[in-house]
Amino acid sequence: MTSQTPRSLGPIPLPAPGTRHSGYFTFDDELLGKYQWPYFAAVGRQAGLTFLLTAGIHAAEYTGTLAALRLGQALDPDHVTGAIVIIPLLNRPGFFERSIYVNPEDNQNLNRAFPGSATGTWSERFAHHLLNDVVIKVDRTMDLHAGDMVEGLEPFLGYYQTGNAEIDARSQEMIRAHGGMRWVTHVLPGGERAGMLYGAAAQNGVPAILAESGGCGLPIEQDVQRHVDGVLNIWRTLGLLTDAPALQAQPPRSIAANNWLRSEHEGIFLCRVSPGEMVAKGQTLGEMVDLLGNRLATIEAPDGGVVLFTVTSPAIKKDGLLLAVGVPN
């Protein structure tokens, strides 16, 4: 799509070449239409790639949304080639509710709802319209995350290996250009349902990555800026942004398996490890106790690797998420 830049990206109007604008849009759907989503768009005078940056599909992962706002405010069309579109808050229903993990319209995780359905629940309709009306029309996409309100996190990148060499190479190009993370996963988390935005984008032919920085609902400057710097270096590497040369980035280390551990019991989680810590196979990561403090289970590392995130709230439902261990190649 390096020909003429179109005048809209699905429901999002694009400005004339050489200009930028920001505003709100909605989707053509009776359930979704009661919300307005914020966006920024800048179109360069020269045609090129169309890049979609998204954040806030998990509403309390604030570092992504704050980074997207900072990038949107700074967009300068004089330095853009092609088009850059930013949606800083996808989980619009959850933001002011301070929702953790889910969308309060139907209590589903929006980032497990793809590819969605035009006639399904609120989350399924949102996934369907975002994917088909917006995402599949761009050339590259990136989704910003953090640990959720109750998760501490080691920064990492992810892409979904489709098996299509051309798409995978383009996703990997973005991964290599980020420069701010030590780890990259190329598989969906073990034991989790599919249906993530970046995976669905790649499966539909759009090179896509995810970036995780920050957590616990804390808008820590270093975590926000890590997102900002990574996106800027990707844009400069791809030639979308010509304000400065791209920096040579340190490539992240590959993670072959991403094990998400869940609790068999309802109880209190006493976590013994921290995000970023290296653990050995069989090492005790924590224990589950009941409401009298009696041990229910010892949580052990299924493999050696790096702790990618831990749940910081000790209150765990049956089958509740506890932490993730990434196993390096």
Q: Which is nearer to Zn ion, 44 or 147 (CB)?
A: 147
The minimum distance between CB 143 and Zn ion, in angstroms, equals 8
Q: Are strands 183-185 and 156-158 parallel, antiparallel or unpaired?
A: parallel
58 binds Zn ion (CB under 5 A): yes
Q: Does 176 bind Zn ion (CB under 5 A)?
A: no
**Exposed/middle/buried for 318, CB within 10 Å: 0-12, 13-18, 19+?**
exposed
Q: CA separation (Å) from 88 to 3, 48, 64, 176?
A: 27, 22, 8, 23
145 is an interface residue for Zn ion by CB under 5 A: yes
Work out whether 170 is an interface residue with Zn ion (CB under 5 A).
no
Kindly give the residue spans of alpha helices, DSSP state H, lying in 75-217: 92-95, 122-129, 165-178, 197-203
CA–CA separation, 178 and 210 (whole Å): 11
Neighbours of 30 (CB within 10 A): 8
> Could you give the 3-state DSSP secondary structure of residue 1?
coil
Nearer to Zn ion by Cβ, of 61 and 105: the residue is 61
By beta-carbon proximity to Zn ion, the closer residue of 61 and 124 is 61
- Shortest CB 93 distance to Zn ion, Å: 16
Query: Which region among 5-13, 59-67, 175-183, 198-206 touches Zn ion (by CB under 5 A)?
Result: 59-67
Selection from 310, 311, 144 nearest residue 224 by Cα: 144
Residue number, 92 or 145, with CB nearest to Zn ion: 145
The answer to whether 88 and 72 are in contact (CB under 8 A) is yes
Q: Least distance from C-beta 24 to Zn ion, angstroms?
A: 23
Piece of 61-69, 221-229, 254-262, 301-309 that binds Zn ion (CB under 5 A) = 61-69
Output the smallest distance, CB 211 to Zn ion, in A.
Answer: 10
Q: Rule CB under 5 A: say whether 227 interacts with Zn ion.
A: no
CB of 11: closest distance to Zn ion in angstroms?
Answer: 23
Q: With respect to Zn ion, which residue has the nearer C-beta, 213 or 233?
A: 213
Closest to Zn ion by CB, 20 vs 145, is 145
In this structure, are residues 132 and 148 in contact, taking their beta carbons and an 8 Å threshold? no
Size of the site for Zn ion (CB under 5 A): 3
Q: How far apart are CA 85 and CA 20, in angstroms?
A: 10
Considering the complex, what minimum distance in angstroms separates the CB of residue 65 from Zn ion? 11
Q: 93 in helix, strand or coil?
A: helix
CB of 95 to Zn ion, least distance (A): 14
Closest CA to 154 of 326, 321, 308, 259: 308
Which of the stretches 50-58, 93-101, 118-126, 319-327 binds Zn ion when contact is defined by CB under 5 A? Answer: 50-58
Only segment of 85-93, 142-150, 183-191, 192-200 that touches Zn ion (CB under 5 A): 142-150
Let me know: does 281 contact 118? Beta carbons within 8 Å.
no
Q: Quick one: which segment of 51-59, 128-136, 149-157, 188-196 binds Zn ion (CB under 5 A)?
A: 51-59
CB of 296 to Zn ion, least distance (A): 28
Cis peptide before 252 (omega within 30 of 0): no
Would you tell me which residues interact with Zn ion (CB under 5 A)?
58, 61, 145
